[in-house]
């Protein structure tokens, strides 16, 4: 069981009009949420689980969480260099779960342990049903 999971929200949530489904997933899981530059409006910045933006234009805290988490759940995002920085140092300790509609993005830059290919609007409700409710991590 994960002890320090972390979610990163990307633009795929917004393009898929899946903000509501994403927030339901995040709230049921109780996991802290960060976002990419293009995923910024996937969750309100004042949401209790929101920790800020990751990457070179992001905040210190979320970048530290990326490299301390044991499970990283990437939703609708690309692992580009603005997010990862040096690939040889990016989230090496984490099991990575990557949900994306674009098959070409899965395992493109970062090795993913659990690939989930699908549209966020359709896939997130199915994943939400599978997780046990938690309020904090």
pLDDT-derived band of residue 137, with 50, 70 and 90 as boundaries?
A: low
Each residue of 91-130: pLDDT tens digit?
999 999 999 999 999 999 999 999 999 999 999 999 999 9
- How many domains does the chain divide into? 1
Minimal CA–CA distance to 8: which of 31, 36, 27, 30? 36
Residue 135 domain-assigned? no
In a domain, 23, yes or no: yes
Q: Which of 73, 42, 39, 43 lies closest to 54, judged by CA?
A: 39
Per the domain annotation, does 136 fall within a domain?
A: no
Instruction: Indicate whether 50 belongs to any domain.
Output: yes
Task: For residue 78, give every residue at least 6 positions away whose Cβ sits within 8 Å of its Cβ, in sequence order, or none.
Answer: 10, 36, 100, 105, 108, 109
Question: For 11, which DSSP code?
Answer: H
Domain assignment present for residue 79? The answer is yes
| 35: CATH | 3.40.50.1220
How far apart, in whole angstroms, are the C-alpha atoms of residue 61 and residue 85? 15
State both tokens at 40.
């910024």
Domain assignment present for residue 47? The answer is: yes
Please tell me the pTM assigned to this model. 0.95
């Amino acid at each position: 069981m994960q002890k320090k999971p972390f979610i990163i929200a990307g633009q795929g949530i917004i393009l898929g009009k899946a903000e509501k489904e994403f927030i339901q997933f995040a709230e049921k899981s109780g996991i802290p949420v960060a976002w990419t530059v293009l995923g910024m409006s996937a969750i309100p910045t004042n949401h209790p689980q929101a920790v800020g933006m990751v990457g070179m234009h992001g905040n210190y805290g979320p970048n530290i969480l990326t490299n301390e988490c044991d499970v990283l759940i990437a939703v609708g995002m690309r692992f580009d260099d603005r997010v990862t920085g040096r690939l040889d140092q990016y989230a090496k300790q984490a099991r990575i779960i990557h949900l994306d509609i674009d098959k070409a993005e899965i395992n493109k830059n970062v090795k993913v342990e659990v690939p989930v290919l699908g549209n966020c609007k359709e896939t997130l409700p199915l994943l939400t049903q599978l997780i046990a409710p938690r309020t904090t991590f």
